[in-house]
Amino acid sequence: MGRRKRPLEDMGITMSWKHANVFVTGATGLLGSWLSEELVRRGARVTCLMRDWVPASRLLASEAFSRMNVVHGELEDHALLVRALNEYEIDTVFHLGAQTIVGTASRSALSTFETNIRGTWNLLEACRQCSKLVRRVIVASSDKAYGSHEKLPYTEQVPLEGRFPYDVSKSCADLITLSYWHTYRTPVAITRCGNLYGAGDLNFNRLIPGTIRSALANEAPIIRSDGKFIRDYFYVRDAVDAYLTLAEKMLDGRLEDRAFNFGTEVPVSVLQVVETILSLMKRTYLKPAVLNEATHEIPRQYLDCTLARQLLGWRSKYTLEEGLAETIEWYSAPLERAAVA
């Protein structure tokens, strides 16, 4: 677990972000915290939209947070979004804010649709109204936007056919985003990522942080499914690399109205992930409890990232074992473990 971390500048990102005015929604979440911190480190002026104060958020504990502008409010507040883009003269938008938990979405479809769908069109409309300022908008969709298809892996040409509330919210937000390009020429690009994981994920009903927390407590990990579900597990540092690479490439005007798959292209079962974590943590004596009660989830899903390689020159750098080792290290540290307890 003492593996030397690669600086993101060594991962193919070369453009200077100095003095860029960047707006990040969902900045206190897993990807948002890593992306916002990296943008600040590169010299960008970051303004983040914050709905809830989350004391255990990795972002709030970072030195970078003291150098960010914070707008308190919700994606559902269109006037607030227009004000933020105008007053902070935003030129780049990363829209990561969303309700991201499948189980929560199933329990509360209305709030999920309000945040993920209405929140997206509110932000895009605000960007359209501030078109003299905003030069690029990167919207986080998801591999779940595709829904369930027999043919694997998914390419970007696969139809968006979400069926369950979370999946549908992402299908809709994805299509709405593209409509703003075709109708208003709003400079948008879409990311469809695999299952993100990494240090700072506080949603412990997710497989990886939940398993790590159980192992730290010397308890059997819980698997809600039958353990055979297949996913593409995508490390957050690779995701930051992907988002920044896409944003930089957008400036030549040739990648607007595009959606890109981002992942490792290595399908792994839920049980394999749990076993890898237990092995890295030297807890192989713990046997996972397989509940086989997961509902409203897609059994098999992973991505083809050929387009990202061809048009962006991007590919993932981290293996599952490397990403998990760094993630476990964060949760195992004394200060960070306090957020797990």
Active site residues: 166
Contacts for 60 with CB less than 8 Å, ≥ 6 apart = 28, 53, 54
Q: Within 10 A of 292 (CB to CB), how many other CB atoms are there?
A: 10
Q: Within 10 A of 99 (CB to CB), how many other CB atoms are there?
A: 18
**Plot region of 296 (φ>0 → left; ψ -120 to 50 → alpha; else → beta):** left
One DSSP character per residue, 176-200 reads HHHHHHHHH---EEEEEE-EEE-TT
CA atoms 212, 218, 223, 228: torsion sign: positive
- Phi, psi (degrees; rounded to nearest 5) at 42: -85, 0
> What is the 8-class DSSP label of residue 53?
-
CB 112 within 8 A of CB 166: yes
Q: In whole angstroms, what is the distance from residue 28 CA to residue 56 CA? A: 9
Q: In whole angstroms, what is the distance from residue 252 CA to residue 246 CA? A: 11
What is the residue whose two structure tokens read 């308190």?
72
